[in-house]
Amino acid sequence: MTFRATILTLYPEMFPGHLAFSLAGKALERGQWSLDTMQIRDFAEDRHRTVDDTPAGGGAGMVLKPDILAKAIDNVSEGDDLAPGRPRLLMSPRGKPLTQERVRELAAGDGVVIICGRFEGVDQRVIDARNLEEVSIGDYVLSGGEPAALTLLDAVVRILPGVMGNALSGTHESFEDGLLEHPHYTRPQVFEGREIPAVLTSGNHAAIEKWRLEEAKKLTAERRPDLLKGK
Pick out the residues of the known binding site for S-adenosyl-L-methionine: 117, 137-142
- What's the one-letter identity of residue 135? V
User: Do 144 and 87 form a contact (C-beta atoms < 8 A)?
Assistant: no
Which runs of consecutive H residues, i.e. helices, occur in 20-96?
22-30, 66-79
In sequence order, the 6+-apart residues with CB closer than 8 A to the CB of 95 are: 133, 134, 135, 136
Please choose, from the candidates 180, 66, 82, 217, the residue with its C-alpha nearest in 3D space to the C-alpha of residue 130. Answer: 66
What is the DSSP secondary-structure string of 152-201? HHHHHHTTSTTTSSSGGGGTSSTTTTSSPPPP---SSSEETTEEPPGGGG
The candidate with the shortest Cα–Cα distance to 187, out of 173, 200, 171, is 200
Query: How far is it, in rounded angstroms, from Cα 159 to Cα 157?
Result: 5
DSSP 121-135: EE-HHHHHHTT-EEE
Task: Determine if the peptide bond prior to 183 is cis (ω within 30°).
Answer: no
> Would you list which residues are annotated within the binding site?
117, 137-142
